[in-house]
Amino acid sequence: MAAQILSAIITIIVGVGGAIAYFWGANRLLDLIFPSRGVAGMAAVDNLRRQGFIRPWLFIGPALIILVVYLIYPVIQTLYLSFHDRSGENFVGVANYAWAFGDREFQNSILNNLLWLAVVPAACTFLGLVIAVLTDRIWWGTIAKSLIFLPLAISFVGASVIWKFIYEYRGDGQVQIGLLNAIVQFFGGNPQVWISLPFWNSFFLMVILIWIQTGFAMVILSAALRGIPEETIEAAVIDGANPFQIFWKIMIPQIWGTIAVVWTTITILVLKVFDIVLTMTNGQWNSQVLANLMFDWMFRGGGDFGRGATIAIIIMLAVLPIMIWNIRQANKEGGL
Amino acid sequence: MASVGIREVRKSFGSTEILHGVSIDIVDGEFVTLVGPSGCGKSTLLRMIAGLEGVTSGQISIGERVVNNVAPKERDIAMVFQNYALYPHMTVAENMAFSLKLKNAAKAETEARVQRAAEILGLVPLLSRYPRQLSGGQRQRVAMGRAIVRDPQVFLFDEPLSNLDAKLRVAMRAEIKELHQRLKTTTVYVTHDQIEAMTMADKIVVMHDGIVEQIGRPLDLYDRPDNLFVASFIGSPAMNFLHGEIGSDGGPAFHGKGGVSVPLNGAAGAGGGTPVVLGARPEHLKLSDDGFPVEIVVVEPTGSEIQIIGRTPGGEEIVANFRERHAFEPGQTVKLTVEPNLIHLFNGETGKRL
């Protein structure tokens, strides 16, 4: 434990120190190579211009290089692998894609992903909005908001472990220690194995992500709601709008851009959902999703690089358009 | 159109009282400005007339009806806000039609009313634009259009021009006045700018620290301010004040700091020894050999007149305007006097006019 803490601290110091040393040193070096002080007239102007041209690259350079190495290169490599067999050596054309669309488990994953897409972003945004509106008006709103925001700080795996205890099932005759079953039993119902209930088990997994992400939606939407000019609401009051009309016709349209950004951000997250499914069911009982399926093919049972990469590419293709739209929308928001 | 009655209205936020019993009568069709420094309660009073703030005690009526507990939309008023408060997601036409839409008015009638208001305000070419595509003056006009469309009993304006630049403000001032002359709708207009109040109003209500200092026609307030506050607030540049007392040795006269002496009318004999404040408008100060001395500090020629800022021997600041082009120099000492019937005298302790 002590050794791990020590190594974490050393890593932080080396990392941050290294970054500072790089930026300071590179900056200094540039000043030395093209001095602008102590050089006569035109030469100084020239050097200043060269400095101005090079300096931005010094600062964004490291980020750019890391981006290429860890993002662009893997994308190209994945694309390459998706057209090759399980060892990644023999070209197989679109065989992997053909396999994917014929595979029952893949189809099941697609279906589940669509279900997740339909439920989670909508539920998070709706709950987030409702909570943001309601907590704005009560004195203990800040406390409530903090509590709702808290799950966002828990890792997906950690959250799954918590919910595993909530959904826990013990065999007949044993004391039910799962919260949900305890409640069901209290009201006279029969305990269930919640995470293996066909079809519905996916929804029990979704609840976990909704529990985590509602805080995110709430915080962003709450800020947006506060950004609405009070006077527009007062003008609407005088114009004769009732509270519902004010909410739907004055407030919602004014934060529409933010709602869209929240919605799409969560949508992207949902397309990549993996940890929760892995921890809770590992895709059993028809709860498989694309990301977990990809992980399965890539790293389990000897590994099939071709099929794993194919699923990765399909996920990327699904995320990409939403991502582009999301970034554009966010930029538009910032530019207003 | 309707009259507005405000009787002994008080307003408290928690334990702090903002308005300490305000009474104003606004006649049908009148243009009334509420003017005063920020924090005097004028905007709060306007918001109470609108129904955006509750009334702590007292009574507000519009027409014959007491509206203390009437919802804003039932009061038949329209309000123009300082920041325009246009709905950013609606076009100009939609902004103006919003209130009628909420009332489920017939589409043809809504369109006709919007069109008419747009014509009055010169907004016809802008009807399909969004607020963000408009300039400040155009937005202000849309905000007024939104009010006109409703054809309300009372217009309420809350500092509508303070976000505009100086030139536009003067233009819009005239436009609002003209609009009022045309529509003859009762108007309550809040501003902190006394020039706006003077130029636009039929009646000015000067407010200060939650009370009404004086109500009257613009020129009455200018010529006969009831107290020191109104005297100092109305008029630009502001009235000059000299502190001193009335002496009766050899005819009534004002004796100020540093040996300043100004002869008074006989009527102003409030008895010797009372502390008083003498007020004189900058344009009422005249050069005169038997006046009091003023050392010139700054000379400001504006073209139409020359303004000097100077100091009396008692160290009190004096501003004087002259239509004639005198050759003043900083450092020079001039002698100034005021005609006795243009002098304002105030009680030095209560600030009330004598």
pLDDT for res A61 = 87
String of b and e for B46-59 (b: at least 16 CB within 10 Å)?
Answer: bbbbbbbbebeebe
pLDDT for res B269 = 53
SS3 content of chain B, % helix, strand, coil (to 5): 30, 35, 35
- Is a pLDDT exceeding 70 seen at residue A336? no
Q: If you average pLDDT over residues B307-315, what whole number do you get?
A: 91
User: Which fold, B4-233?
Assistant: Rossmann fold (3.40.50)
- Residue B250 dihedral angles phi and psi, to the nearest 5°: 70, 60
- Write out the E strands in chain B: 4-13, 16-26, 31-35, 57-62, 65-66, 77-80, 154-158, 186-191, 203-208, 211-216, 240-247, 253-256, 261-263, 275-280, 285-301, 306-311, 317-322, 333-338, 344-347
pLDDT digits (tens, 9 = 90+) for B34-86: 999 988 999 999 999 999 999 999 999 998 899 999 999 889 999 999 888 99
B85/A232 touch (CB, cutoff 8 Å), yes or no: yes
Q: Which residues on chain B are in Cβ contact (under 8 Å) with A227? A: none
Of residues B145, B177, B178, B140, the one with CA closest to residue B159: B140
Asked if omega into B237 is within 30° of 0 (cis), the reply is yes
SS3 content of chain A, % helix, strand, coil (to 5): 80, 0, 20
A232/B88 touch (CB, cutoff 8 Å), yes or no: yes
* Partner residue facing A234 (CB), from B52, B132, B146: B52
- Is a pLDDT exceeding 80 seen at residue B249? no
B73/A238 touch (CB, cutoff 8 Å), yes or no: yes
Distance of CA A13 to the CA centre of its chain: 28
Specify the higher pLDDT residue, A143 or B267. Answer: A143
Amino acid at B332: Q
pLDDT digits (tens, 9 = 90+) for B335-348: 999 988 899 989 88
pLDDT digits (tens, 9 = 90+) for B93-111: 999 999 999 888 889 999 9
Query: Can you give the pTM of this predicted structure?
Result: 0.75
Residue B186 DSSP SS3:
strand
Q: Which two tokens stand for residue B255?
A: 């004796």
pLDDT for res A136 = 81
Q: How many CB pairs under 8 A join A and B?
A: 60
String of b and e for A46-74 (b: at least 16 CB within 10 Å)?
Answer: ebeeebeeeeeebeeeeeeeeeeeeeeee
Mean pLDDT computed over every residue of chain A: 86
Q: Which residues on chain B are in Cβ contact (under 8 Å) with A241? A: 73, 98, 102
Residues 6 or more apart whose CB falls under 8 angstroms from that of B171 comprise: B137
Residues 6 or more apart whose CB falls under 8 angstroms from that of A98 comprise: none
Q: Which residues on chain B are in Cβ contact (under 8 Å) with A332? A: none
Of residues B148, B178, B166, the one with CA closest to residue B78: B148
B146/A235 touch (CB, cutoff 8 Å), yes or no: yes
Q: Which residues on chain B are in Cβ contact (under 8 Å) with A238? A: 50-52, 72-73, 77-79
Q: For residue B1, name the pLDDT band (cuts at 50, 70, 90).
A: low
- Is a pLDDT exceeding 90 seen at residue B156? yes
C-alpha torsion angle, residues B44, B45, B47, B50 (rounded to 10): 170
Domain residue limits, chain B = 4-233, 240-347
The residue in chain B having the minimum alpha-carbon distance to the alpha carbon of residue A250 is B87
B81/A254 touch (CB, cutoff 8 Å), yes or no: no
pLDDT for res A164 = 86
String of b and e for A167-180 (b: at least 16 CB within 10 Å)?
Answer: bbbeeeeeebebeb
User: Which fold, A96-335?
Assistant: MetI-like fold (1.10.3720)
pLDDT for res B233 = 92
Residues of B with a Cβ under 8 Å from any A Cβ are 50-52, 72-73, 77-79, 81-90, 98-99, 102-103, 132, 146, 150
- Is a pLDDT exceeding 50 seen at residue B211? yes
Of residues B313, B333, B104, B346, the one with CA closest to residue B231: B346
CA distances from residue B171 to B167, B178, B192, B196 in whole angstroms, order as listed? 7, 11, 18, 11
Q: Which two tokens stand for residue A105?
A: 């488990």
CATH architecture of the domain formed by B240-347: Beta Barrel (2.40)
What's the distance, Cα to Cα, between the start and end of chain B in Å? 39
Give the separation between CA A292 and CA A306, rounded to whole angstroms.
16
pLDDT for res A272 = 82
